[in-house]
Amino acid sequence: MNTILIVIIVANVLMSYKGFNDLGFFRKYEFHMGSVLSGQQFRIFTSAFLHADIGHLVFNMITLYFFAPVVIAYLGSLSFVIVYFGSLICGGLLTIVFHKKDYNYRAIGASGAVTGVLYSAILLRPDMMLGIFFIIPMPAYIFGILYLLYSIYGMRAKNDNIGHTAHFGGAMGGYLITLISNPNLFVEHTLFVIALAIPIAILFVMEKMGKI
């Protein structure tokens, strides 16, 4: 396994474990909208290394473990780091844009960064087959489109505790950074690049119309 990937996974595990056992630590470093807007922007970064429970942590780290090697193989370790942390920041920034009026909004988890890595891998290998629930086979690009559409639904419905906005922002980050890093994809995977951009366009049209 790549050393950088190991370091990121270990950092997530250690910081999450500390948060599981120390509520003060957890509250100090989680994403809290009021605190972020008052100047504690570091929470955008630190909250991405905290998780709600073991299941949340394991799911994110397994997803990262499976898809990070694709990004590393195609783009290299440095670009992988840029995709990971760039997606993390994009997830946090989009969350601020959509929730800035909710000072009590809280969020944690590496999902934005991990989703960015997932979408980077999908752009690089759109022909991959994913096992949904480890059983149902689905082409990676179809999964990518459906996932972003589901995230839009979740952002609009607001009927669960999932950070759909961070997921969407992370996906956008992974999408854009990968295309900037490897512009040949516009030629090699033109249809997939366009298809994966459709949900992003839908989100911003709906936001302009006040539907989200």
Q: Which two tokens stand for residue 9?
A: 């996974």
Q: Which residue has the higher pLDDT, 207 or 120?
A: 120
Residue 134 has pLDDT above 70, yes or no: no
Question: What pLDDT was estimated at residue 207?
Answer: 79
116, pLDDT greater than 60? yes
Is there a contact between 180 and 90 (Cβ–Cβ < 8 Å)?
A: no
Model confidence at 17, pLDDT cuts 50, 70, 90, reads very high
5-32 exposure pattern, b = at least 16 Cβ within 10 A, e = fewer: beebbeebeebbeebbeeeeebeebbbb
Res 88 pLDDT > 70: yes
Mean pLDDT of 30-34: 96
Residues 37-80 have pLDDT tens digits of 999 999 999 999 999 899 989 989 998 998 999 999 999 999 99
pLDDT of residue 30: 95
pTM for the whole thing? Answer: 0.90
Name residue 132's beta-bridge partners. 136
pLDDT, the chain, mean:
91
State the SS3 of the chain.
CCHHHHHHHHHHHHHHHHHHHCHHHHHHHCEEHHHHHCCCCHHHHHHHHCCCCHHHHHHHHHHHHHHHHHHHHHHCHHHHHHHHHHHHHHHHHHHHHHHCCCCCCEECCCHHHHHHHHHHHHHHCCCCEEEECCCEEEEHHHHHHHHHHHHHHHHHHCCCCCCHHHHHHHHHHHHHHHHHHCCCHHHHCHHHHHHHHHHHHHHHHHHHCCCC
> Which amino acid is present at 164?
H
Q: Is the pLDDT of residue 115 over 80?
A: yes
CB atoms within 10 A of CB 124: 22
**pLDDT-derived band of residue 185, with 50, 70 and 90 as boundaries?**
very high
For 135-175, the pLDDT digits (tens) are 778 888 888 888 888 888 877 877 665 678 888 999 999 99
